[in-house]
Amino acid sequence: MPATVARRPSPLAIVRRVARQVWSSALVRLGIVAITALGAVWAVRAFGRQYDFFDLRIYHGAVVWWTEDGDLYQFVAPHTMLGFTYPPFAALAMLPMALLGAQTAGWINALLNLAALALVLFTVVGPIADRYAIPRWFAVGIAVPLAGATEPVRETIGFGQVNLILAGLIIADLAAMRWHGRAALDRDPAAGPRPAQTLLGWLRHAWLTGAFAGAGVGVATAVKLTPGLFIAYFLATRQWRVASTAIGAAIGATLVGYVFAGKETVTYFTSVVWDTNRVGFVDATPNQSLAGLLARAYDSPTTPRLMWLAFAAVLLTVGLSRAKNAHAEGDELAAFTIIGLTANAICPISWTHHLVFLVPALVILVDAALRRRRAVRGFNIGHFPALAGLRHAAMALGLYLLIVISPLWRYEHRLPQVSHYADGLWGALMENSLALAVILLVVLLPWRRGAEPVFEAEPAGAARARTHLPV
C-alpha cells in the first residue's frame, strides 16, 4: 500500500493558530483591558469637563441642612441658585452622607456608580460574550472603560449623580425577568406543590426565580419620577405581575418617605415637582431633551408649550409602540432601552448625564452588526465578505464617537448674551446633537428577533399534561 505524506500546514494556518493562542492568553487579555482603561482615562481628560462632585455637594449640603432642622426644599447651595429636587425618599436614602464629608461621600458615590455600571454591562454584554465564546470578565472588562469614557457616564460619576445606580436598579429587573422566564420553563406542574419553606428559604427562592422583577423600577421611580415610564410599558405589554410589583414598590417607598418626612412629601408632590425652574433653564445646552431642543430652535429661554406637548405625545406613542413590538419579537433589552431613551426625550429637563441608556443602545447596535455578519458567513462578493452589518456598525461607531467627543460643549451659548445660532446651522446642530441622537434612536433603534425573550413561556410539563403525551 503506498505511503502517504502528510500535508504541511500552510504558513497562514500556522499564523492563525498562533494568533488564537495569543488571543486566548489571560495575560494578553489583561493587557488589552489595561490599555482600554488608559485610553478611557485619556478620553475623559481630553473631552470631559472639570469635575468636583458638584451635584453631590448640593445633595450633601441639603441633607446636612435637613438634619439640622432646616426645610429640605428651602435649601439653596452657596454661590448657586440650586437646591434639592428629588422626592423625600431619595433624601432618606442619602441621609448617611450627613455623617461624611462631601469629598468622601463623592468618592463612595463614584464607586457605587461604577459597580452599577459593571452590573448593567454584565447583564447586557454577558449573553453576547457567551454566544461568541468570550469570557465574560474580559468582555465586561473592556466594556466598562469604553462606557466610562462616554458623556453620560463620566458626567454622572464626575458630578456625583445617581443615574447609573437607577439604571442598575432597572436593568436588575431585566435580569430578574430572565430568571423568571427560565424558571417558568423549567417548572413542571406534575411535581405537585412545593413543601413549606422558611422565610429565608422563600426569599432565596423568590430571588432566584425572579419573583421580585419590577421592584427595581418601583424603587427607581420613588427616587426619581422618570423611571415611572417603565411601569406604563409593563402595563402596555400586559406584564401584569411585573407591573404590580413595580407599582407596589413605588408606592411602598413613597409611603416610607411620607412616614419619616410627611411635610416634605406633601410639599414635593404639591409644588416642588411642578417647578421646573428649580432644576435649571430649559434652553441650557446640557438639557438635551425635546423641550430643550425646541427652546434652542426658537432661540428662546422657554419652550413653546403646545408644540412641545404635541411632539412629546407623538414621541411617547412611537416609543411605547416600538418597545411593545420589540418585546413581542423577543428583545426585552431593546424594549427597555427604547423606553429609557423615550423618558429622556419627553422629560422637560434631561441633562447629558441622564442619557445613560445610550450605553445599552450601543451594545444593541454592535450586536445587531455581529448577528447580520454571522448570518451571511460563507457568502462572498469576489474576494471580500458581504458587507452585512456595515450599516449598524457605522451607526454604533458614529454614536460612540458622538458621546465621547460630545461636541455640544464647543457650541454652548446662553441667552440673552449669545444667540443659539451664533455659530450658524452647524453650531445649532452640534449644540443639539445628543438630543437629536436620542430622538433618532427612539425611532430607529433595531431589535434582534428572539435575542432576549423574557415573557413567561408555558412550561413543557404543562403542555405534556394538556395533550396527555407520555413524559
User: Tens-of-pLDDT digits for all 471 residues of the chain?
Assistant: 555 555 566 665 555 565 565 556 778 888 899 999 999 999 999 998 888 899 999 999 999 999 988 888 888 888 878 888 899 999 999 999 999 999 999 999 999 999 999 999 999 999 899 888 889 999 999 999 999 999 999 999 999 999 999 999 999 999 888 877 666 655 555 555 555 467 666 666 666 666 788 899 999 999 998 999 999 999 999 999 999 999 999 999 999 999 998 898 998 888 888 876 677 789 999 999 999 999 999 999 999 999 999 999 999 999 999 999 999 999 999 999 999 999 999 999 999 999 999 999 999 999 998 888 777 665 555 545 556 678 889 999 999 999 999 999 999 988 889 999 999 999 999 999 999 999 999 999 999 888 777 755 444 444 444 334 333
∠ CA 414-342-361 to the nearest 5 degrees? 100
Identify the DSSP state of 421.
T
Would residue 343 count as lying in a domain?
Answer: yes
Show the domain range for 423: 283-376+386-454
Would residue 5 count as lying in a domain?
Answer: no
Would residue 308 count as lying in a domain?
Answer: yes
* Residue 353 to residue 300: CA distance in whole angstroms: 23
Would residue 355 count as lying in a domain?
Answer: yes
First-to-final CA distance of the chain: 54
Torsion-angle region of 443 (φ positive above 0: left; ψ -120 to 50: alpha; else: beta): alpha
Would residue 128 count as lying in a domain?
Answer: no
Residues 6+ positions from 105 with CB-CB distance below 8 Å: 53, 56, 60, 97, 160
The answer to whether residues 389 and 367 touch, using CB atoms and an 8 Å cutoff, is no
Buried b (16+ CB within 10 A) or exposed e, 208-235: ebbbbbbbbbbbbbbbbbbbbbbbbbbb
Q: What are phi and psi of 225, to 5 degrees?
A: -70, -25
* Residue 202 to residue 214: CA distance in whole angstroms: 18
Q: How many domains does the chain contain in total?
A: 1
Grid cell listed for 103: 469629598
Would residue 149 count as lying in a domain?
Answer: no
Which is nearest to 287 in space by CA: 412, 396, 132? 412
The answer to whether residues 317 and 384 touch, using CB atoms and an 8 Å cutoff, is no
- The number of helix segments (H) and strand segments (E) in the chain equals 21, 2
Would residue 163 count as lying in a domain?
Answer: no
Would residue 267 count as lying in a domain?
Answer: no
Residue 134 burial (CB count, 10 A) = 17
